[in-house]
């Protein structure tokens, strides 16, 4: 198979218009991360559509929302010196198992990986 574009089937329950809006809105988010001490973090993500803010302490469960806005409990742990991983549990209803991780590379890039069941999204951030 040669290189090039290939069609990716849409996830169940997400129509094409909503996918296009989501892609446009999330095309260049601004992210602010503050570390208050070794284990307490503040992360603010801003797009043209919405802004989200979370405060958490490593190893302590907290409430936030999944990427699609469902309330959940999240627990962040250190996987390595430069990588934190977060498992999410929905507060009500059913949906895919979701998680995210953030890893700081030796080059200073921040790699955000989000998963929903077997769907994985990776985004690489660089400082401006």
Decide: 44 and 53 in contact? Cβ < 8 Å. yes
pLDDT of residue 85: 98
pLDDT of residue 6: 46
Tens-place pLDDT, residues 111-128: 999 999 999 989 999 887
Q: What is the pTM of this model?
A: 0.76
Tokens of 114: 């989000």
Question: What does the chain come to in residues?
Answer: 128
Q: Which residues pair with 88 in a beta bridge?
A: 74
pLDDT of residue 68: 80
Decide: 74 and 61 in contact? Cβ < 8 Å. yes
pLDDT band at 2 (very low <50, low <70, confident <90, very high): very low
Question: Other C-beta atoms within 10 Å of 88: how many?
Answer: 24
Q: Which domains does the chain have, with CATH numbers?
A: 64-128 (2.40.128.20)
pLDDT of residue 82: 95
């Amino acid at each position: 198979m040669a290189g090039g574009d290939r069609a990716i089937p849409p996830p169940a329950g997400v129509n094409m218009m909503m996918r296009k809006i989501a892609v446009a809105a999330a095309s260049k988010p601004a992210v602010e991360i503050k570390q208050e001490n070794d284990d307490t973090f503040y992360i603010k993500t801003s797009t043209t559509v919405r802004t989200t803010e979370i405060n958490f302490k490593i190893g302590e469960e907290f409430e936030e929302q999944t990427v699609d806005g469902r309330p959940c409990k999240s627990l962040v742990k250190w996987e390595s010196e430069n990588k934190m991983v977060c498992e999410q549990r929905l507060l009500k209803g059913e949906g895919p198992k979701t998680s995210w991780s953030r890893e700081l590379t030796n080059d200073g890039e921040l790699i955000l990986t989000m998963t929903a069941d077997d769907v994985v999204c990776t985004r690489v951030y660089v400082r401006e």
